[in-house]
């Protein structure tokens, strides 16, 4: 009889503007059976975002209450955002217990905290193809002031400086290729 397969935590980080959302969308299409962890946050929803789909949008009081109750696997006030974000144990535990791997898209502090608790977690850092491309994407979003763009670039530089703390680094030059690389990493760790 084959041993039951075990679910793995797959932690993906990288600066905003590295094209992570498109990449993750494609990853779920291509890597069947992966679950996604919906994070909780105190930031207000952006237009089109839905509660319990994009995030669990919590008031600061509710977030704090759940934090005190030990409901988070990790939670941080994410640098440069001014809001709290966290991974709920209730998002992750059922998947792992069912032998399903689950993807967490979280910041560097969160990633390191998860790794401390789950040594078998797989950590992957997604790079933009270049810093010029990152700046182009941030500017391409349109409405942001120069101040805000500079702040986001500073956040990105801080994140990029932590890339070597991850087990794997993937450059998002070509999204299909980057997705394939991530699928290969995940498959190579399957037991």
Residue pair 100/35 in contact (Cβ under 8 Å)? The answer is: yes
Stretch that binds ligand 5GP, among 25-33, 72-80, 124-132, 166-174 (CB under 6 A): 72-80
Q: Choose, by CB under 6 A, the member of 81, 100, 137, 158 that binds ligand 5GP.
A: 81
Listed residue (77, 187, 82, 174) closest to 127, CA to CA: 174
Query: Measuring CA to CA, how many Å separate 75 from each of 33, 84, 102, 163, 178?
Result: 26, 7, 17, 20, 28
What is the DSSP annotation of 15-77? -TTS-HHHHHHHHHHHSTT-EEPPPEESSPPPTT--BTTTBEE--HHHHHHHHHTT-EEEEEE
Under the binding rule (CB under 6 A), the answer on residue 137 touching ligand 5GP is no
Under the binding rule (CB under 6 A), the answer on residue 128 touching ligand 5GP is no
Torsion of CA 158, 25, 170, 55, to 10 degrees: 30
Under the binding rule (CB under 6 A), the answer on residue 181 touching ligand 5GP is no
Site string for ligand 5GP, 9-28 (x = CB under 6 A): ----x--x------------
Stretch that binds ligand 5GP, among 22-30, 82-90, 131-139, 144-152 (CB under 6 A): 82-90
Q: Given strand 84-88, what is the order of strands in its sheet?
A: 56-57, 40-41, 84-88, 72-77
Under the binding rule (CB under 6 A), the answer on residue 42 touching ligand 5GP is no
Backbone angles phi, psi at 148, to 5 degrees: -65, -40
Stretch that binds ligand 5GP, among 3-11, 62-70, 101-109, 161-169 (CB under 6 A): 101-109
Under the binding rule (CB under 6 A), the answer on residue 87 touching ligand 5GP is yes
Q: Choose, by CB under 6 A, the member of 76, 92, 152, 179 that binds ligand 5GP.
A: 76
Structure tokens at 44: 């207000």
Q: Whole-number minimum distance, CB 159 to ligand 5GP, in Å? A: 7
Under the binding rule (CB under 6 A), the answer on residue 106 touching ligand 5GP is yes
Residues found near ligand 5GP in the complex (CB under 6 A): 13, 16, 39, 43, 74, 76, 78, 81, 85-87, 105-107, 109-110
């Amino acid at each position: 009889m084959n041993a039951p397969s075990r679910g793995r935590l797959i932690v993906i980080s990288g600066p905003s503007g590295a094209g992570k959302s498109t990449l993750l969308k494609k990853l779920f299409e291509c890597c069947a059976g992966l679950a996604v962890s919906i994070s909780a946050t105190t930031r207000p929803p952006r237009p089109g975002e839905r509660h319990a789909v994009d995030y669990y949008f919590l008031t600061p009081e509710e977030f704090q209450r759940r934090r005190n109750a030990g409901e988070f696997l990790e939670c941080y006030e994410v640098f440069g955002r001014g809001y709290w974000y966290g991974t709920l144990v209730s998002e992750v535990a059922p998947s792992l217990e069912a032998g399903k791997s689950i993807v967490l898209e979280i910041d560097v502090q969160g990633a390191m905290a998860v790794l401390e608790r789950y040594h078998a977690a797989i950590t992957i850092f997604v790079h933009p193809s270049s810093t010029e491309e990152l700046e182009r994407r941030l500017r391409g979003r349109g409405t942001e002031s120069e101040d805000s763009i500079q702040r986001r670039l500073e956040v990105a530089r801080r994140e990029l400086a932590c890339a070597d703390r991850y087990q794997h680094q993937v450059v998002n030059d070509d999204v299909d290729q980057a997705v394939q690389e991530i699928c290969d990493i995940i498959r190579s760790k399957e037991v």
